[in-house]
Each structure stands twice: as C-alpha cells, then as structure tokens.
Amino acid sequence: MIIKEVSSKSDIKKFLQLPVELYKSSSKWIQPLDKDIEAVFDEKQNKFFRHGKCKRWILNDDNGKVIGRVAAFVNNKTAKSTYVISGGLGFFECINDQKAADLLFETCKSWLVELGMQSMDGPINFGERDKWWGLLVDGFNEEPNYCMPYTLPYYVQLFENYGFQDYFKQYTYHRLVATPLEQIYVEKAERIARDPLYHIEHIRKKYLE
C-alpha cells in the first residue's frame, strides 16, 4: 500500500470519488456536494486557515487503486482547550481492512505529532461542528441530514481497533415538514402576533439596523 498527499487536481478527484465506490451498495447514502467538501480545504473559503492548518492523503493498493482517504487538522484556537494538546482527523473513508485504516490513522498521527499535538480527535471537521462531525454508530437506515456524516457500519470497528474511544455522543434530528406543530407552538405564535411590542418582518439588507 502506498499513501500519497493530495497535491494535484487528479488527487482531489480521487479523494472525492472514493466514497462513490465504497457506498455504491448503500441505499441511504447521499453523495455530498463536491463543492461543500472542497470548501473545507480552500484557504479562501475556510476561515479556520487563519489560525490552523490541514493536510489530506489518499491511499492506494499495490495495483494503484484508491482504497482509502483521510485528512488531518490543527486548530490552534482549540488545540489547548482540553487537558492535552489535541489535533484532529476527518473525511476518513476506507475499505474494510484494518491495516489500510491503521496506515491512514498513523499518517495523521505522525503529522500531528510533528506539530506538537498530544492527542487526536476524530472523525471531526476543520471547521464548526455543524458539518462533517462525528462517526455514525446508529441510524444506518436513515438518510443523512445535509452536511451530516453518513459512514459505513464497519468504520466503528476500524476506529476502535486502532484505539479510539468515545469522547462524547452527538445526535442529529429530523422531522417531516408536513408534520403538524404541537398546539402549544401555535398558541405561542398567536400570542406574540397579538402583542404590539413585537414587530415581525423579513430581513432586508438595505435596512439591517
């Protein structure tokens, strides 16, 4: 197996296309928009580059086929917010092979250690927690919310076998738009609408104040 830093347009395409192959049998997976993924790695779009850095890699088998990918991040604003200096990894995708996964994890670890990190959180995002944050451990029969991670069930074992442990549990929720609101919300809205102290209108950029 050969691991390679993503450094060309061809590498980027391979990085983006790997999940398409891995999830082709999953009826619930929804392919993320390429532009949403690439925005994370674009210094002009991602403000976290102002106080951090990231690097990403693809993993090829001996025949040159892409079998894994990963990225590692350092956010200098939050690295020291816990009892150990912590970096992160994310955008992990891999075939069901522990050696391949371990090589991806080790590559991230080595890079983070070089930058002075003492621990590694993952999978996380080089940005806010509202996108690409966490490893799916339940709910594989549900379609993912927009920009929420949907990962293969065997990833849990790949992470835990390497040594990752639960840090915190994160939940995402959804409801059908057509689902009626509970009556209490209707009553509150009507009460506010009758109150002359409240004024509600759509935002207009020309009148933000």
**CATH value at residue 21:** 3.40.630
Q: Is residue 169 part of a domain?
A: no
Q: Is residue 198 part of a domain?
A: no
Q: Is residue 24 part of a domain?
A: yes
Q: Is residue 104 part of a domain?
A: yes
Beta bridge partners of 73: 54, 88
pLDDT at 82: 65
pLDDT at 17: 97
> What percent of the chain is modeled with pLDDT above 70?
98
> pTM of the full predicted structure?
0.83
The conformational region for residue 53 under phi > 0 = left, psi -120 to 50 = alpha, else beta, is beta
- pLDDT, tens only, 13-58: 999 999 999 999 999 999 999 999 999 999 999 999 998 999 999 9
* Alpha-carbon dihedral sign for residues 79, 81, 86, 91: negative
pLDDT at 8: 95
Q: Is residue 170 part of a domain?
A: no
Q: Is residue 197 part of a domain?
A: no
Residue of 123, 106, 48 lying closest to 78 (CA atoms) = 48
Domain that holds residue 142: 2-162
**Number of separate domains in the chain:** 1
